[in-house]
């Protein structure tokens, strides 16, 4: 069934696979909805925006994405409230960031009108995959890959922009233990650390595996020059609570401008919690742990929302964070505040909620 709505051609799936899915036992990112959005960049323009049944792509083994890594992506979520209405959370931030990432990777930027029309049309088509209830969501993965055939080392002149959807539950189910990096780096000055470029994440897997072998789940990355300054935690921005103040590293060309990160900063300021955005020395955190002033460490990101850290390791020594009640933990407060906005439970004084009408 082909339908054209404004700029987008819709080819609907003949039958939904939704009844085959166990929504109570989802593995993050392994199940996908009935449809996907795609649009191609050909002859200097984005053309043929289409929604079609989710399925495999046919692509040449000589496509430049495989050889020179021209690929960027985003992570977003859709939420459903108790009335069955669907909302996005600060989607303009994700749109701006995928274009910023694209620019850094010499990929042409994507038009805003087609992005939002494609995204909202896709969400309406697969709205039954968005389950209500705190913790349930629909993870949204926009991405761009270079599709031009050829192995010459130069930017492609053909690309494919896509959006796929995956029903999700909580990403991390408990506190995590982390290692502070002393040898490996996530990014460097002048590099692509601030972009959601696919290769950024592939390069993390090996040092993260080394951490896992020692009983830790993630790595807190440090600066590439001296490994003195704390930057990100795994795939998330990271916050430190020393006494009652909150600290996080400033964004730069090494650190991702996280949507959850900037939302936590805004919530903290609204609550009157002191926030310092500045370079943070590893030695500061170690000293605060030794003195008992370090109360919390937590990651912040779209997939996990807020991920508390229970312990960290540095120079082969493990530091355990103090036990705190849920009522006194900043991580618990910010996760609750964020999710109540996302699920249309609380007032959204920031204007972050985006209804999908």
Asked if 111 and 202 sit in the same domain, the reply is no
Does residue 261 lie within any of the structural domains?
Answer: yes
Instruction: Give how many domains the chain has, as a whole number.
Output: 2
Does residue 305 lie within any of the structural domains?
Answer: yes
Integer Cα distance of 92 and 354 in angstroms: 9
DSSP 212-269: HHTT-SEEEEE-TTTS-EEEEETTEEEEEEETTEEEEPPP-SSS---HHHHHHHHHHH
Asked if 188 and 267 sit in the same domain, the reply is yes
Does residue 346 lie within any of the structural domains?
Answer: no
Asked if 317 and 214 sit in the same domain, the reply is yes
Asked if 180 and 105 sit in the same domain, the reply is no
User: Which domain, by its residues, includes 114?
Assistant: 2-168
Asked if 190 and 222 sit in the same domain, the reply is yes
Q: 145: which strand partners?
A: 71, 160
Does residue 348 lie within any of the structural domains?
Answer: no
Asked if 158 and 245 sit in the same domain, the reply is no
Asked if 209 and 325 sit in the same domain, the reply is yes
Residue 124: which CATH number? 3.30.470.10
Query: Would you state the pLDDT for residue 172?
Result: 56
Q: What is the mean pLDDT of residues 86-100?
A: 98
Asked if 181 and 238 sit in the same domain, the reply is yes
Asked if 160 and 208 sit in the same domain, the reply is no
In angstroms, the first-to-last Cα distance of the chain is 23
pTM for this prediction: 0.95
Per-residue pLDDT reduced to its tens digit, 227-273: 999 999 988 999 999 999 999 999 999 999 999 999 999 999 999 99
Asked if 85 and 200 sit in the same domain, the reply is no
Asked if 106 and 76 sit in the same domain, the reply is yes
Query: Would you state the pLDDT for residue 357?
Result: 86
Per-residue pLDDT reduced to its tens digit, 270-287: 999 999 999 999 999 999
Please determine, for residue 1, whether its predicted confidence score (pLDDT) is greater than 70: no
């Amino acid at each position: 069934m082909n339908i054209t709505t404004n700029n987008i051609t819709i080819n609907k799936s003949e039958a939904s696979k939704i009844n085959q899915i166990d929504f109570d036992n989802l593995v993050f990112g392994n199940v996908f909805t009935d449809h996907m959005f795609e649009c191609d960049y050909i002859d200097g323009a984005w053309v043929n925006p289409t929604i079609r049944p989710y399925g495999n792509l046919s692509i040449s083994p000589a496509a430049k994405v495989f050889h020179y890594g021209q690929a960027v992506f985003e992570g977003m979520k859709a939420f459903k409230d108790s009335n069955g209405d669907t909302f996005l959370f600060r989607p303009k931030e994700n749109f701006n960031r995928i274009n910023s990432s694209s620019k850094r990777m010499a990929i042409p930027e994507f038009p805003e009108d087609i992005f939002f029309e494609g995204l909202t049309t896709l969400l309406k088509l697969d709205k039954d995959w968005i389950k209500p209830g705190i913790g349930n969501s629909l993870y949204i993965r926009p991405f761009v890959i270079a599709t031009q055939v050829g192995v010459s080392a130069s930017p492609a002149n053909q690309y494919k922009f896509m959006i796929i959807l995956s029903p999700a539950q909580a990403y991390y189910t408990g506190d995590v233990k982390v290692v502070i990096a002393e040898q490996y780096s996530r990014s460097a000055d002048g590099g692509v650390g601030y972009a959601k470029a696919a290769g950024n994440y592939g390069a993390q897997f090996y040092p993260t595996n080394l951490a896992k072998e020692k009983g830790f789940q993630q790595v807190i990355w440090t600066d590439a020059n001296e490994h003195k300054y704390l930057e990100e935690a795994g795939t998330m921005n990271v916050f430190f609570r020393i006494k009652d103040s909150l600290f996080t590293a400033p964004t730069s060309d090494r650190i991702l401008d996280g949507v959850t990160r900037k939302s936590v900063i805004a919530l903290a300021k609204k609550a009157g919690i002191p926030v310092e955005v500045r370079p943070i020395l590893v030695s500061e955190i170690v000293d605060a742990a030794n003195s008992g002033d370090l109360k919390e460490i937590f990651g912040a990101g779209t997939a996990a929302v807020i991920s508390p850290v229970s312990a960290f390791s540095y120079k082969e020594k493990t530091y355990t964070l103090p036990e705190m009640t849920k009522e006194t933990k900043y991580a618990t407060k910010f996760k609750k505040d964020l999710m109540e906005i996302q699920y249309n439970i609380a007032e959204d004084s920031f204007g972050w909620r985006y209804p999908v009408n």
